[in-house]
Amino acid sequence: MGKVKYILIIVIAGFLFSCSSTKQSTVIQEENLDSSQIEAMAEESQSQFQYFFVEGLKQKMLGNLQEAIRYFSGCLELDPNSAAAMYELANIHASNNDFTSASLLLEKAVSISPENKWYKMMLARIYQQTRKFDQAAIIYNDLISLEPDNLDYLYLNALMLSGAGKLDDAIDAYKKIEKKVGINEQISVSVQQLLVDGGKIKEAFAEIQKLIDSNPQESKYYGLLADLHMSQGEIKKALENYNKILEMDPENGFVHFSLANYYLDQSEVQKSFEHTKKGFLSTEVDIDTKLQLYLMFSGNSVGSQLSDENIGELVDILVNSDPEDHRVYMVYAEQLIRKNSIAEAREQLRKALALNNTDYLIWERLLIIDNDIQDWQALYDDSEEALFLFPNQPQVYFLHGIACLQLEKNQEVLDICSEGMVYVIENPDLEGQMKMLQGEAHYKMENFEQAFALFDEALESNPDNYIALNNYAYYLSIMGINLDKAERMSGRVIQLFPDNSTYLDTHAWVLFKKKNYQLAKFYMESAINNGGEDNPVLLEHYGDILIMLEETSQAKEFWQKAKEKGSESSLLDQKIKDLKYYENKDQ
């Protein structure tokens, strides 16, 4: 029998959720029912309500929030004044950051059940979240009337009044708490700040002095007093209190940072740095604080007061005092990078990874350095390990592809870029770079048609991919095909980089293949004059251009220079001997 009833409830629930006309019909029919029938219907409605409410709680617990909303909404269909259902729905809306819906539901719930503190507490939290501090303060004031000795309500009321800018009311609220708990550091500091904000500086000093009088042996209270003097420009009084702290607590690291700021304000940079060092050497100061201060000193206008040598000293202190924290080696690496000591920076990053290999940013920095110093085997090995740890990071696939290309692992380039492309989302530049790598691999494998198709796709993703533009143009010039297209592409690159010898050489070589020798000479001279004077390929190319212009003696001179600089061209000796241009398909 119970099973039948359970099925019946579900069927009725379906009617409730599907349309409202059924409900209206039921009301009309009730006029013709006797009292016993009406009572039975009321009991069944209550049973339905309980079922929906319990199911709503269950679905909420399981994380099925839409189902939970459906059941709690069903509760309100049955009982529009159910504050409990409103509260549960408000909870779900608040978890989805829909504070408007949540506050509307809670306001109604509170109006229905004004004595329920849980409804009020949640409403107050939502008001606080939405910066309606005035309204939140009113709610906490109501809660205080329900529980006058609840310190949490008293404190939160003061905090909300402060947030609302009602400074005097907030101070009065804090004073009420003080009457209950006695002189308290948290209260006094809050009141002092409110007094300062209200321009009541004399009263602010009195508040801190009251705190000192309550416990004259607590050194940090003198720090509060010193900081207040500093903020008012009372430099000597500030220094007196900072020195008092040192007398009371010589090992206090934090006071050294205060003194460092004091001396920096006085333009006494060396004294400031000496106190900074003492603060960094203090075992009382945690590593997080030290690192935050280091970043401040090394990364903004305050840090500009410190020399590179000073910054280096702070780094040494960090490394020596906290050698088991991987972050100190990251800091050290960044300092070395700023000094252009790239290889040494890489070693520090490896130390950081030995302590914590789960930080992706360290891996990415390491891989970029491997690439910058062209340590291809290290880039291959490091990126392979990074791929194991971070299989969803497309940048790692790209860097591994670069290593594979440089190590002549051409098929692996194709495979790894195909894998990595799956993780490239809304990043056409990276997608183009991956396709470019695949194009390079196909070119090396002499799959020219596939290579050029991939270069075209890469440039569709990013028309300003200058590496793809340059290499594609050069490969076309070597093969002697699509030279107009090659000229347009290489011309675009030298517009972007007019002083780059490699790109100037490509453009000159495209013009050479188009038999525009005079213009090719102009660009090749620019290439040599912009850092290409020791490049054997550029020197040989220049000789090739000169021979075509019948400048034979100069052509021979540059061919010989190319040989002296270590040219690996198989035809260079023949050119020098015969004073004649021979086409080299590898150049």
- The pTM for the full model equals 0.67
Q: Is residue 92 part of a domain?
A: no
In the block, residue with structure tokens 């039948």: 4
- Any idea what the CATH number is for the domain that residue 538 is in? 1.25.40.10
- Cβ distance 293 to 307 under 8 Å? no
Name, in order, each residue with C-beta under 8 angstroms of 60's C-beta and a sequence gap of 6 or more.
Answer: 68, 88, 91, 92
Q: Which two tokens stand for residue 440?
A: 């390079």
Q: Quick check: is 1 in a domain?
A: no
Total of domains in the chain: 1
Owning domain of residue 492: 485-587
Cα–chain center distance at 116: 42
- 493 inside domain: yes
Tens digits of per-residue pLDDT, 407-432? 999 999 999 999 999 999 999 999 99
Any domain includes 431: no
What is the pLDDT at residue 374?
95
**What SS3 state is found at 443?**
helix
Per-residue pLDDT, 299: 67
> How far apart are alpha carbons 171 and 232 in whole angstroms?
21
Confirm whether 520 is domain-assigned: yes
- Which letter does DSSP use for residue 303 in this model? G
Annotate 545-581 with DSSP letters as a single string: HHHHTT-HHHHHHHHHHHHHTT---TTHHHHHHHT--
239 is a domain residue: no
- Is 124 contained in some domain? no
Q: What is the pLDDT of residues 120-136, one digit of tens each?
A: 999 999 999 899 999 99
* Residue 324 identity (one-letter amino acid): E
Given a cut of 70, the residues of the chain with pLDDT beneath it are 1-42, 299-305, 585-587
CA distance 429 to 413: 18
Amino acid at 529: N
Asked if the structure places residue 492 within a domain, the reply is: yes
